[in-house]
A and B are shown apart, each in its own frame.
Chain A
Amino acid sequence: MIDPLSIFLLLLSASTPILFAALGELITERAGVLNLGVEGMMIVGALAGFAAAHATGNPFIGFAVAALAGAAVSMSFAMLTQFLLANQVASGLALTLFGLGLAALFGKPLEGIKAPAMSPGPLNINWIVWLGVAMVPVIWWFLNRSRAGLILRGVGENHDAAYALGYPVRLVRITAIGFGGAMAGVGGAFLSIAIVLQWTEGMTAGAGWIALAIVVFSNWTAFGVLAGAWLFGGVTVLQLRLQAAGVSVPVQFLSMAPYLATILVLVLISAKQKYSRRAGRAAPGSLGKNFHALR
Chain B
Amino acid sequence: MMRLVPRDEISAGWQIATPLLAVLATMIAGGILFTVMGYDPVAAIRTIFWDPLFGSAASYSRPQLLVKAAPLILIASGLAMGFRAGIWNIGAEGQYIIGGITGAAVALVAYPAEGMWIFPAMVLAGALGGWAWGMVPAMLRNWFGASEILVSLMLVYVAQKVAAWMAFGPMKNPEGFGFPGSRNLQQYPAASNPELIAGTGAHWGVVAAAAAVLVTWFLISRHIRGFHIRAAGLAPRAARFAGVRPETLVAFCLGLSGACAGMAGLFEVSGPAGQITDSFGSGYGFTAIIVAFLGRLHPVGILLAGLLLALTYIGGELAQLTLQLPAATVQVFQGMLLFFLLGFDLLTRFRLQRGIAA
Measured CB to CB, the residues of A under 8 A from B are: 36, 76, 79-80, 84-87, 89-91, 93-95, 97-102, 104-105, 108, 201, 205-206, 209-210, 212-213, 216, 250, 252-253, 255-256, 259-260, 262-263, 266-268, 270-271, 273-274, 292-295
By the criterion CB–CB under 8 Å, are B162 and A252 in contact? yes
By the criterion CB–CB under 8 Å, are A105 and B161 in contact? no
Most interface-central of B90, B161, B165, B327 (chain A CB within 10 A): B161
- Given A87-B342, A108-B326, 20 other A-B contacts at CB below 8 A? A90-B342, A93-B338, A94-B335, A94-B339, A97-B290, A98-B335, A101-B333, A102-B328, A104-B331, A105-B326, A105-B331, A108-B328, A206-B157, A259-B157, A260-B158, A266-B140, A267-B140, A267-B144, A271-B143, A271-B146
| Set of chain A residues within 8 Å of B357, measured between Cβ atoms | 293-294
Q: Give the 3 A-B residue pairs with the shortest CB-CB distance, closest first.
A: A98-B335, A101-B331, A104-B328
Q: Tell me which of A94, A271, A292 contacts B338 (CB under 8 A).
A: A94
Classify the interface of chain A: helix, strand, loop or mixed: helix
By the criterion CB–CB under 8 Å, are A293 and B342 in contact? no
Most interface-central of A100, A206, A252 (chain B CB within 10 A): A252
By the criterion CB–CB under 8 Å, are A101 and B335 in contact? yes
Q: Tell me which of A90, A268, A293 contacts B293 (CB under 8 A).
A: A90
Measured CB to CB, the residues of B under 8 A from A are: 3-6, 88, 90, 140, 143-147, 149-151, 153-158, 161-162, 164-165, 168-169, 286, 289-290, 293, 326-336, 338-339, 342-343, 345-346, 349-350, 357-358
Shortest distance from the beta carbon of A70 to any chain B beta carbon, whole Å: 16
Q: Give A268 to B358 CA distance when docked, in angstroms.
A: 45
Classify the interface of chain B: helix, strand, loop or mixed: helix
Q: Tell me which of B143, B151, B165, B358 contacts A263 (CB under 8 A).
A: B151
Shortest distance from the beta carbon of A154 to any chain B beta carbon, whole Å: 21
By the criterion CB–CB under 8 Å, are A86 and B346 in contact? yes
By the criterion CB–CB under 8 Å, are A102 and B157 in contact? no
By the criterion CB–CB under 8 Å, are A252 and B335 in contact? no
Q: Give A246 to B145 CA distance when docked, in angstroms.
A: 37
| Set of chain A residues within 8 Å of B342, measured between Cβ atoms | 80, 84, 86-87, 90-91, 94
